[in-house]
Amino acid sequence: MRFEIGAHDPHSLARVGRLYAAHGVLDTPLFIASATHATIKGLAPEEVAHAGIQMVAVNGYHLWLRPGIELIREAGGVHRFMRWKRPILSDSGGFQVFSLARSRTITGKGVRFQSHIDGSPRFMTPEASIEAQNALGTDIAMIFDECVAYPATREYVEASVELTLQWAKRSKAAHRNPHQHLFGIVQGGAFEDLRRRSAEETVKIGFPGYAFGGLSVGEPRDEMLRVIQATLPYLPADRPRYVMGVGTPADILACVRLGIDVFDCVLPNKNARHGTLFTSEGTLKIKNARFRTDERPLDPSCDCEACSKYTRAYLRHLWIAEEPFGSRLLTLHNLRHYAQFMERVREAVGSGTLSRMHVPEGRAD
């Protein structure tokens, strides 16, 4: 993988870079939008790209179950299937196997479980996960790992680290797509010594990029940042570093300052569908009665369709009436907010002003 690091922030470990993938060049720090089922609900791919999203993430577990990997392979890969022209990352499905599947049984070979869709018996192995991601044709694939819940005992996390390392070796051995980069995943829960072991051994296996798994799963922010800070010295500085499942703009900013390059989270899409919007003044719940006659734009500093054409009063009306158009507009806004936020982060790193950047976390007026 070609990863060029440009400017460094003089007051932190933040850096900007360029990540070269088969379907385009990505500017880092980078936020990846979640397109779990090969779509972002209610939006066309062109709209997502127009919002400034550089890359989306699809989920191998969900696409494996429905519509099936072979169907997508025959369609020419997931880019052609969903008509997205920019880079795509595929998650291995490890998190979903452990969070969604029914009556799972973990063995050294893999995980036996029942589909959360129809209850049918399934067996997922590292080889099956990688074969599916190879067939999807994504730009970046992830190893199959065990994502541990929070909190977890040291004994369980220690065993999980060893299992994930074995699966990492098998994932790499099974990888066959020369146009796709396979990232390793560091596990270890909240235990710094286990994170160090996982990082060191994963680096020995050798991957073009490294991700933190098992974070943003309910632990306090301070604990998440402590784990990242303690583990980063054991990951190569010349490779992209990715925290999976993070998160809010404030969490992203804190992680960027520690030296993280890549993030993904369902939060902007999911929150929009529930009427919670990210703005330059804090979060805003559009259902609140005080917006019933509010003729102001959702966020005056945003240039998305929702903010440039419609008032808070109208957006609230659409939300209360459960109109699909409202959900579409709110999702577009949150995605555009994240894209603009990442643009400002990159600019601040380049200009040496990241230390002055602030993310409002309270309620917007």
- From CA 364, how far away is CA 290, in angstroms rounded? 12
Q: How far is CA 165 from the centre of its chain?
A: 22
Q: Is 294 a catalytic residue?
A: no
The residue annotated as part of the active site, out of 9, 139, 145, 264, is 264
DSSP assignments along 47-64, one per residue: HHHHTT---EEEEHHHHH
Candidate list 91, 145, 251, 299, residue with the active-site label: 91
| Token pair of 362 as six digits | 């309270």
Distant-in-sequence, close-in-space partners of 5: CB < 8 Å, separation ≥ 6: 15, 16, 17, 237, 238
Could you confirm whether 264 is annotated as catalytic? yes
Helix-, strand-, coil-residue percentages of the chain, each rounded to 5: 40, 20, 35
Which segments of the chain are extended strands (E)?
A: 2-8, 15-21, 24-28, 30-34, 56-59, 88-91, 102-106, 111-114, 121-124, 140-142, 181-186, 210-212, 241-244, 262-265, 276-279, 282-285
Q: Residue 224 carries which side chain, given as an amino acid letter?
A: M
Q: Catalytic site residues?
A: 91, 264
